[in-house]
Amino acid sequence: MESSPEEARPAATSTSPLHTHLEPEPEREPEPAPNTQNLPPYTIEQDAECTSPPLSTSPKSRPVSGVVPPYWQRHTRNASRASQSSLRSTLITLEDHTADPESETTRGLWAQSVLIEDHVVVQGKTGVGAYVVWNCRIQTLDGGPMVVRMRYSEFDELRQRLVSSFPHAKSALPALPPKSVFYKFRPNFLEHRRVGLEYFLNCVLLNPEFSSSPVVKDFLFGRLS
């Protein structure tokens, strides 16, 4: 009996990776343990030769470059030289420009400072209606001081004239200290008023726009003692 062509054909060899025969890896011999009997004793000087010291777990230690620090160190920041120099550059300093009378900040100024030294209580002609006169000592840039005597009502008059002449600079004029009918001769009230009037007059005379105006010069020079 003759065999069919399909039966005579040899069986095809499967090339599927599932049927690939894997050769077992040869077993490796265990590495011998290092011989520590002939090693020199450990010394502290050996740590000094290390180029990358181990990371310290102290919160105050600086993290090594390239290593993620612990969570308690991630918000720490050391001030750099640039930040320190920027802080120094923002400090406010005072400069004296009075030596140059032609500078923009001093042009027209003729007063250096104002000091209200004391006051005098003046009685009315009929024995009533007493009022206080303030002795204002103005130190000039050219020479000695000048003393101007002014009442509170005269301070108020000077302020009203400046507001009318310089409406754009009204905010540069501080308010005068308040009035009082019952406490106007008490020492604490008078001291508070003295400080307020002195501050007002300094703001006027140390402002080049105000001090150089005819309003201020005519008003003050006409009251020289």
In the chain, the domains with their CATH numbers are 111-221 (3.30.1520.10)
Q: Would the pTM count as exceeding 0.75?
A: no
* Strand, coil or helix: 219: helix
Residue 131, classified by CB atoms within 10 Å of its CB into exposed (0-12), middle (13-18) or buried (19+), is middle
Number of Cα atoms under 13 Å in the Cβ half of residue 170: 6
Which tens digits make up the pLDDT trace of 136-178? 999 999 888 999 999 999 999 999 999 999 999 989 999 999 9
Residue 140's SS3 state is strand
pLDDT in tens, 93-125: 444 555 555 555 566 799 999 999 999 999 877
